[in-house]
A = this chain, B = another copy of it.
């Protein structure tokens, strides 16, 4: 990075910087009436649609480590995690605002890298950048993104709609992003002090990609729609399966039984867990940042859902009195606990 051109942010000033970063932005959605450049953006969805709003604050050293996260990937991921929240409501993301706090360590070129990733994610998901600001920070890099999306009122899926006997489904596979993080952390320690941090990750590409370039499952939302399947409840898996299952159970006032043997886990995740001498199920249950969708559907669509690639049925919803339990491979029951990724607690342990 040091050999590249470096333009100091202070040489541009705030307004020129925002112009530079957003000059290539073309508004794609007819609902984006006014983007960057006024006191507020203006948005007009069609009359039958409700507005969805989600926001995420990402702070350097807490949510990401620039030692091994390239700024382009960070930009991409920052947008994706917000889109994922909108998909988890069964909605379509349409607009984002982007606020950045940057210390003097960062150059204009660094921010352009970040925006390259951000723009790529927005291209892929048909989302417009409609506002935001860029300001100095005393230390590090702070990112705040707010995403707006929409959905017809009767199609929005909340966490609270799960019913007894509903099937519990999950998209993709779990635990890989967590394993990718462990891998990056290990290599960071190994290469500590060395200038060029370029370890060999061959055979582990999937884990890295899951950590550095996660996907928001627009395809799953479309797949369900094509098959006329309306989930009864849904959430995206950002803090780990256990934690998200407990959210659905508490908000729907139900219990659940999920089966260890049905939890989808990729081969590379399993190999890595063994290498790290880690419990694979723990990684899948409590490892965060998978950004897969966890949802429930009525028992009546069992056959249809079973036929869908990329979706696995991992258990079913029970009466609240039965609690939330994992059925292990040996038949034993283990109560689910929210040991998910928690940035507030991780600070202290």
CB within 8 Å of B: which A327-345 residues: 338, 342-345
* A251 close to B37 (CB less than 8 A): yes
* A144 close to B10 (CB less than 8 A): no
Enumerate chain B residues within 8 angstroms of A251, measured Cβ to Cβ: 37-38
Minimum CB–CB distance from A340 to chain B (whole Å) comes to 9
The segment out of A46-54, A254-262, A267-275, A298-306 that lies at the interface is: A46-54
Enumerate chain B residues within 8 angstroms of A235, measured Cβ to Cβ: 39
* A39 close to B159 (CB less than 8 A): yes
Q: Let me know if A245 is at the binding interface, CB within 8 A.
A: no
**Bound CA span A132–B338, Å:** 20
Enumerate chain B residues within 8 angstroms of A278, measured Cβ to Cβ: none
Which residue of B is nearest A234, CB measured?
B39
Q: A97-B146, A135-B343 are known contacts. Are A50 and B57 too (CB-CB below 8 A)?
A: no
* A104 close to B54 (CB less than 8 A): no
Enumerate chain B residues within 8 angstroms of A71, measured Cβ to Cβ: none
Enumerate chain B residues within 8 angstroms of A153, measured Cβ to Cβ: 33, 44
* B344 close to A17 (CB less than 8 A): yes
Enumerate chain B residues within 8 angstroms of A348, measured Cβ to Cβ: 10, 104
Q: Out of B10, B148, B347, name the residue touching A345 (CB < 8 Å).
A: B10
* B89 close to A136 (CB less than 8 A): no
Q: Let me know if A55 is at the binding interface, CB within 8 A.
A: yes
Minimum CB–CB distance from A100 to chain B (whole Å) comes to 7
Q: Which one of A9, A88, A99, A342 has the greatest number of beta carbons of chain B within 10 Å?
A: A99
CB within 8 Å of B: which A89-137 residues: 89, 91, 95, 97, 99-101, 104, 130-137
Minimum CB–CB distance from A106 to chain B (whole Å) comes to 11
Q: Out of B57, B137, B149, B342, name the residue touching A62 (CB < 8 Å).
A: B137
Enumerate chain B residues within 8 angstroms of A40, measured Cβ to Cβ: 52-54, 85-86, 88-89, 91, 147, 149
* A61 close to B138 (CB less than 8 A): yes
Enumerate chain B residues within 8 angstroms of A144, measured Cβ to Cβ: 55, 57, 99, 144
Q: A137-B59, A344-B10 are known contacts. Are A89 and B53 too (CB-CB below 8 A)?
A: no
Enumerate chain B residues within 8 angstroms of A132, measured Cβ to Cβ: 55
Enumerate chain B residues within 8 angstroms of A12, measured Cβ to Cβ: 344
Minimum CB–CB distance from A136 to chain B (whole Å) comes to 4
Q: Taking beta carbons and an 8 Å cutoff, which residues of A are in contact with B? A: 9-10, 12-15, 17, 33-34, 37-45, 47, 50-57, 59-63, 85-86, 88-89, 91, 95, 97, 99-101, 104, 130-140, 142, 144, 146-149, 153, 156, 158-160, 234-236, 251, 338, 342-348
29 A-B interface contacts by CB (under 8 A): A9-B344, A10-B345, A10-B348, A14-B345, A38-B89, A38-B158, A39-B235, A40-B85, A41-B52, A44-B153, A45-B51, A47-B47, A51-B148, A53-B130, A53-B148, A55-B99, A55-B132, A59-B101, A59-B136, A59-B142, A61-B138, A62-B135, A62-B138, A136-B344, A136-B346, A138-B140, A139-B139, A139-B140, A142-B142
